[in-house]
């Protein structure tokens, strides 16, 4: 599976995932501390009430089931807080007095203090799915079992302070209750029970968690945007570089245009600059290779002239018969060397000719007819079959260059043709010229490179299957390169392919018809 | 008295070889390695014919300059460029300097000798009134085979020796296509297709300079050239 650069960078963003988890853990710890504090506070309140009642035992002398009178009410009120419920039981488990309400009186939240809170509240529909919000709508009834049988109450009646967490009867709230015995000497007169819900703490921790969620979302969003922008920029630059690199070299391996080296100072800029340098060197090297032939032949002309004029001098002196054989061989070798030099400079001269040639409208069919007629004497062992459309095919270019191109194609086809089958030269109305011969196929890896300078497929050792390769003409792989040059001059393109039935090779030159 | 041929060539081996060759063919030869010494010698005594290389020691285009100076000394002196350079640009530049012909070094001594003797014959004939004339006439074309002078519609066309021979080869049998081998043989040159093409282009241009409607030389693609009457 392939991951794009952007997907990878997005994966990196997962590093941020522990942030909400850490926040959650922190809030839970805080909540535990707050609960602990709440327990302590409730126990302290219970103790304070018990101590006060210990000093005023007469207040306890009440008939059970009757609401506390004014004094008792006042004491409990003064020691209690809002949202506390305080009640007193006697040793028989009878409720002596009760005051206060577990439900919160002022449930309204304070207005949001900052943008984060605004965001946190606007996210509440989402966070509510995760967090159970405390409600004030719970059953705050005091069940009989709690009064008489609950653990902390009976513990207090035994003389030990106790505390307990319990759910409200409808389980919609958690209630913390602390009980403390009321002493009278060594006797326990009764027990004070102070109750409070955990709603205050829970709503505080919920609000904090909401904020954590909001902060996390904001951080996620910002970092995702930053990373996305960064990754997009990177991949955009990489893609541009890739496109440039792909376009820089055409299918024939030539450097068409250089990459404009980026000026940025990072590694991508480095890469683009080194691409640019590498392509420039490749272009220089290609140019050097294409010029090499011409330059070499020019440089070799002078020493060849020395050899030739020396041989000519030798010929004019009286030589023994033995020496004559050798001068003849030397002259033969010199002739071959000359042919090679001519071939080498031919391509360079053609490049100049192509640069300077004037374009005119001409009938390609007429040129082909003349050329193919002439091949009868040039290639006496090969037959050529010409097929032309009925009407003229007008191209724009130079007819003599076009003829030269056909010469190269014909020579190539004639050299590789093995069977007695004629070399087929065909021109269609759209200006496509094909020269097709039976014979050995092109290796797949060479198909694109065949039209480069100095690329030749000719075997080093000729075997019997290729009878026509035996001629004396030297081959430097420049013929098809010249075909390409001329095809390009005519606005066309040269291609080589194997015949579909695998019996030979087709060279194809498409030149646009001039209207 | 033997004719004097001057050779200006900076490569000592080639210079010595050509000197020997020309001496063996009965010419008197004076050889120079650079422009200065050659010019000094020419000022005191002109040779009968000069063979110039273009690139001389230290001067890539020294031969062109020497040709111009030599032409200033004598308008009639036959001058042949003998050089390794074969680009169209060099050929045109050389001929514009007033040379009579331009030969690449791979042409070989027989072709060089053919040119030297032809130019000497012409020089001799120009000096004395013609005893006999050998004229080839094809329509408006008139070729003086002794003096190598071509005229079209009675106006002289300034052809080099090579060009003259090419025109003669094509025009001798009007309507016949002359291929590259035939042209090379008659014009005493060894060149490739594209050089023949540029020779023919230059010839057409010279005729068109005299008569813009000139179209007597036909290209038969793949075969050669034909004189069109």
Walk me through the domains of chain A, giving residue ranges and CATH numbers: 40-201 (3.30.450.20), 267-350 (1.10.287), 357-510 (3.30.565.10)
Q: Cβ(A182)–Cβ(A54) under 8 Å? A: yes
Give the tokens for residue A248: 């820089």
Q: Cβ(A103)–Cβ(A134) under 8 Å? A: no
A296 Cβ neighbours under 8 A, 6+ residues apart: A344
Alpha helices by DSSP H, listed for chain B, are 12-24, 35-44, 62-73, 88-96, 109-127, 161-172, 180-186, 193-210
Quick check: A349 and B87 CB within 8 A? yes
pTM listed for this prediction: 0.59
* Banded pLDDT at B23 (limits 50, 70, 90): very high
The length of chain A is 515
Q: Is the model's pLDDT at B112 over the cut of 80? A: yes
Lowest mean pLDDT among A127-141, A244-258, A406-420, A435-449: A244-258
Query: With contacts defined as CB-CB under 8 Å, which chain A residues touch B197?
Result: 400
Distance CA B182, CA B173 (A): 12
Helices A479-489 and A321-356, axial angle in degrees (round to 10) = 20
Q: Based on C-alpha coordinates, what's the Rg of chain B?
A: 18
Quick check: B220 and A372 CB within 8 A? no
SS3 A97: strand
Distance CA B48, CA B64 (A): 19
Quick check: A403 and B14 CB within 8 A? no
Handedness of CA B72, B78, B83, B88 (dihedral sign): positive
**For position A163, what pLDDT does the model report?**
83
Burial A280-313 (b: 16+ CB within 10 A, else e): eebbeebeeebeebbeebbebbbebbbbbbbbbb
**For position A462, what pLDDT does the model report?**
41
In chain B, which among 65-124 make CB contacts under 8 A with chain A? 84-89, 104-106, 108-109
* Banded pLDDT at A66 (limits 50, 70, 90): low
A171-195 pLDDT, tens digit each: 778 888 888 888 877 778 788 888 8
Please name every residue paired with B178 in a beta bridge, in sequence order, or none if there are none.
B225
Q: What percent of chain A has pLDDT over 70?
A: 85
Lowest mean pLDDT among A106-120, A229-243, B8-22: A106-120
Rounded mean pLDDT, B12-19: 92
Query: With contacts defined as CB-CB under 8 Å, which chain B residues touch A316?
Result: 21, 24
A105 or A141, higher pLDDT: A141
Query: With contacts defined as CB-CB under 8 Å, which chain A residues touch B222?
Result: 367, 370-375, 403, 406-407
Q: Is the model's pLDDT at B31 over the cut of 90? A: yes
B36-77 pLDDT, tens digit each: 899 999 999 999 999 998 888 778 888 888 998 998 888 888
Number of Cβ within 10 Å of residue A489's Cβ equals 20
Q: Is the model's pLDDT at A464 over the cut of 50? A: no
Walk me through the domains of chain B, giving residue ranges and CATH numbers: 4-127 (3.40.50.2300), 135-227 (1.10.10.10)
In chain A, which among 281-340 make CB contacts under 8 A with chain B? 298, 301-302, 304-306, 308-310, 312-313, 316, 338
A230-279 pLDDT, tens digit each: 888 888 888 888 888 888 776 556 676 666 666 777 788 888 888 888 88
* Banded pLDDT at A429 (limits 50, 70, 90): confident
- Identify the helix (H) or strand (E) that includes residue A441: none
Check CB contact of A371 with chain B, cutoff 8 Å. yes
Rounded mean pLDDT, A300-326: 87
For A298, the closest chain B residue by CA position comes to B84
Query: With contacts defined as CB-CB under 8 Å, which chain A residues touch B223?
Result: 370-371, 373-374
**For position A358, what pLDDT does the model report?**
82
* Banded pLDDT at A62 (limits 50, 70, 90): low
Q: Is the model's pLDDT at A416 over the cut of 50? A: yes
**For position B51, what pLDDT does the model report?**
92
Rounded mean pLDDT, A462-470: 40
Angle made by CA atoms A63, A68, A69, in degrees to the nearest 5: 105
Give the single-character DSSP code of A436: E
A368-377 pLDDT, tens digit each: 888 888 887 7
A27-36 pLDDT, tens digit each: 889 989 998 9
Give the single-character DSSP code of A171: S
Distance CA A511, CA A433 (A): 8
The length of chain B is 229
Which strands, in side-by-side order, build the sheet including B49-52?
Answer: B28-32, B4-8, B49-52, B79-83, B101-104
* Banded pLDDT at A403 (limits 50, 70, 90): confident
Mean pLDDT of chain A: 79
**For position A173, what pLDDT does the model report?**
82
Rounded mean pLDDT, B19-43: 91
How far are the Cα atoms of A71, A110, A144, A165 from residue A198, in angstroms, in the given order?
29, 19, 22, 10
Query: With contacts defined as CB-CB under 8 Å, which chain A residues touch B190?
Result: 338
Quick check: A306 and B179 CB within 8 A? no
**For position B130, what pLDDT does the model report?**
61
């Amino acid at each position: 599976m392939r991951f794009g650069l952007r997907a990878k960078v997005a994966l990196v963003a997962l590093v941020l995932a522990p942030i909400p988890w850490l926040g959650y853990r922190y809030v839970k710890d805080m909540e535990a501390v707050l609960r602990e504090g709440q327990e302590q506070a409730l126990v302290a309140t219970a103790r304070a009430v018990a101590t006060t009642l210990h000093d005023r035992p007469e207040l306890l002398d009440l008939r059970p089931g009757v609401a506390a009178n004014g004094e008792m009410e006042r004491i409990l009120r003064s020691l209690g807080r809002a949202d506390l419920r305080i009640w007193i039981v006697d040793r028989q488990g009878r409720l002596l007095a009760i005051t206060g309400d577990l439900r919160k009186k002022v449930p309204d939240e304070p207005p949001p203090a900052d943008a984060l809170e605004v965001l946190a509240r606007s996210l509440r529909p989402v966070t509510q799915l995760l967090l159970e919000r405390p409600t004030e709508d719970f059953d705050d009834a005091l069940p009989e079992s709690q009064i008489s049988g609950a653990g902390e109450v009976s513990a207090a009646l035994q003389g030990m302070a106790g505390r307990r967490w319990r759910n409200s009867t409808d389980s919609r709230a958690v209630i913390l209750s602390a009980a403390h015995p009321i002493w009278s000497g060594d006797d326990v007169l009764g027990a004070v029970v102070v109750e409070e819900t955990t709603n205050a703490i829970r709503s505080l921790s919920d609000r904090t968690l909401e904020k954590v969620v909001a902060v996390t979302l904001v951080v996620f969003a910002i970092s995702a945007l930053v990373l996305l922008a960064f990754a997009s920029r990177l991949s955009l630059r990489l893609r541009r570089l890739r496109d440039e690199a792909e376009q820089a070299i055409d299918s024939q391996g030539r450097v068409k245009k250089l990459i404009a080296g980026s000026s940025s100072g990072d590694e991508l800029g480095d890469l683009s600059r080194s691409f640019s340098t590498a392509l420039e060197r490749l272009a220089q090297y290609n140019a050097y290779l294409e010029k090499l032939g011409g330059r070499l032949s020019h440089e070799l002309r002078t020493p060849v002239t020395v050899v030739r004029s020396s041989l000519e001098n030798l010929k004019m002196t009286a030589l023994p018969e033995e020496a004559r054989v050798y001068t003849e061989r030397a002259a033969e070798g010199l002739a071959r060397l000359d042919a090679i030099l001519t071939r080498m400079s031919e391509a360079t001269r053609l490049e100049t000719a192509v640069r300077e040639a004037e374009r005119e409208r001409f009938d390609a069919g007429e040129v082909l007819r003349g050329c193919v007629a002439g091949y009868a004497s040039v290639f006496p062992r090969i037959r050529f079959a010409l097929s032309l459309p009925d009407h003229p095919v007008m191209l724009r270019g130079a007819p003599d260059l076009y003829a030269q191109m056909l010469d190269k194609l014909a020579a190539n086809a004639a050299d590789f043709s093995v069977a007695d089958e004629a070399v087929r030269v065909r021109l269609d109305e759209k200006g496509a010229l094909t020269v097709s011969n039976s014979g050995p196929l092109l290796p797949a890896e060479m198909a694109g490179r065949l039209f480069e300078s100095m690329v030749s497929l000719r075997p080093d050792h000729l075997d019997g299957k290729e009878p026509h390769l035996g001629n004396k003409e030297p081959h430097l792989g420049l013929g098809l390169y010249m075909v390409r040059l001329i095809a390009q001059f005519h606005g066309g393109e040269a291609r080589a392919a194997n015949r579909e039935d695998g019996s030979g090779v087709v060279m194809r030159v498409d030149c646009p018809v001039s209207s | 008295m033997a004719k004097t041929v001057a050779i200006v060539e900076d490569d000592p081996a080639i210079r010595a070889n050509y000197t020997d060759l020309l001496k063996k063919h009965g010419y008197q030869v004076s050889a120079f390695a650079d422009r200065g010494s050659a010019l000094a010698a020419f000022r005191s005594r002109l040779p009968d014919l000069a063979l110039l290389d273009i690139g001389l020691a230290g001067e890539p285009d020294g031969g062109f300059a020497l040709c111009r100076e030599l032409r200033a000394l004598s308008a009639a002196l036959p001058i042949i460029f003998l050089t390794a350079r074969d680009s169209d640009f060099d050929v045109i530049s050389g001929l514009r300097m007033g040379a009579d012909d331009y030969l690449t070094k791979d042409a070989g001594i027989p072709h060089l000798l053919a040119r030297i003797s032809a130019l000497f014959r012409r020089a001799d004939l120009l000096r004395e009134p013609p005893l006999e004339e050998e004229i080839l006439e094809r329509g408006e074309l008139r070729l003086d085979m002794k003096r190598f002078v071509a005229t079209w519609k009675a106006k002289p066309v300034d052809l080099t020796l090579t060009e003259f021979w090419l025109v003669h080869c094509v025009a001798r049998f009007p309507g016949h296509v002359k291929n590259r081998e035939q042209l090379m043989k008659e014009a005493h040159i060894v060149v490739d297709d594209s050089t023949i093409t540029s020779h023919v282009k230059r010839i057409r241009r010279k005729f068109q300079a005299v008569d813009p409607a000139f179209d007597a030389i036909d290209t038969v693609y793949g075969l050669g050239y034909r004189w069109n009457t």
